[in-house]
Amino acid sequence: MPERLNRLVALSSGDPALDTLIRLTCGRALSLPPLPVPVEVGAEYTEAQSVVAAFAEQFAVDVSGIGDTQRARFVAVTGEAAFRVVVAIFIADFVPRVWAGCQALGLGRPGWVTEVQWNVDADPVETVLGGFVPAVARLRELDAVTTEVVRLRGAEAHNCRLCKSLREGHALDAGGSEQLYRQIADFESSGDLSEAHQAALRYVDALVWTPARIPTDVAAGVGAHFSETQALELTLDVMRNAANKIAVPLAADAPRVAEGTERYEVDEAGQTIFA
């Protein structure tokens, strides 16, 4: 997994100057060190760059706040590259969160290197969605219910309509239920979520909302209930789930069912299989 994170850092939107702008913007928005940048840019932005910077800032702070007008302006200036640019923003937004979380847990910065071998030609869409996301889904140190509880907390935070409408089958078979999942919203007062679940959810909230200020007691709670391998998987799960941030600002997160929820499963290859 460190090598996969390293590959993400080396990817590009296709425009090195735009990559620099995106990474610096996300770093400032998160109050975290930005990812390494490929080139230096001046203080003056073009109109198109300003639109992308505003989009990236809102993406990092609260992706659910991107509305029709901001989305339309972003698509207008990025054109056919819109999806690729959003994926580049996702990388700039979430890899620093992973490193901040891992450092708070005493796991270092997996995938960090001093010299980045830039890969402008590789497709970040395929690398993230076709490579990184299923690779994280193949990790199995965490139990299925914990993985699902964490996923649903992230779905609510980013207001992903699709994610909120889905229920993972292995978790349901292992004891997950709507009664349990309803308690995620107010997990601190839950009678059914375990202490380990509550510790994991506090960590999810910290990574999503305050990654530069992860409380020591939150990190200690993760350490008390999870091994180092499980803690790394938990951190990567938050990033994998947050890939819904790619769909949400493009209004591509419509649920597959009009009412209720749909069961799906993550297979051994890390792929999503719908009933």
Positions in the chain whose pLDDT score sits under 50: none
Q: What is the pLDDT of residue 108?
A: 96
Q: What is the pLDDT of residue 217?
A: 97
Q: What is the pLDDT of residue 27?
A: 98
Dihedrals phi, psi of 267, to nearest 5 degrees:
-80, -175
Q: What is the pLDDT of residue 6?
A: 94
Q: What is the pLDDT of residue 275?
A: 76
Q: What is the pLDDT of residue 180?
A: 97
Q: What is the pLDDT of residue 43?
A: 81
Q: What is the pLDDT of residue 156?
A: 96
Q: What is the pLDDT of residue 103?
A: 98
CA–CA distance, 167 with 157 (Å, rounded to integer): 17
Q: Which helix H or strand E contains 27, and what residues bound it?
A: helix 16-30
Residue (of 87, 197, 55) closest to 189 by Cα position? 197
Mean pLDDT of the chain: 96
Full-model pTM: 0.96
Residue (of 218, 237, 10) closest to 124 by Cα position? 10
Q: What is the pLDDT of residue 213?
A: 97
Q: What is the pLDDT of residue 258?
A: 87
Strand partners, 11: 119
Q: What is the pLDDT of residue 186?
A: 96
Domains for the chain: give ranges and CATH numbers.
2-129 (no CATH), 135-274 (1.20.1290.10)
CB atoms within 10 A of CB 76: 11
CA–CA distance, 267 with 73 (Å, rounded to integer): 38
End-to-end Cα separation, the chain, in angstroms = 29
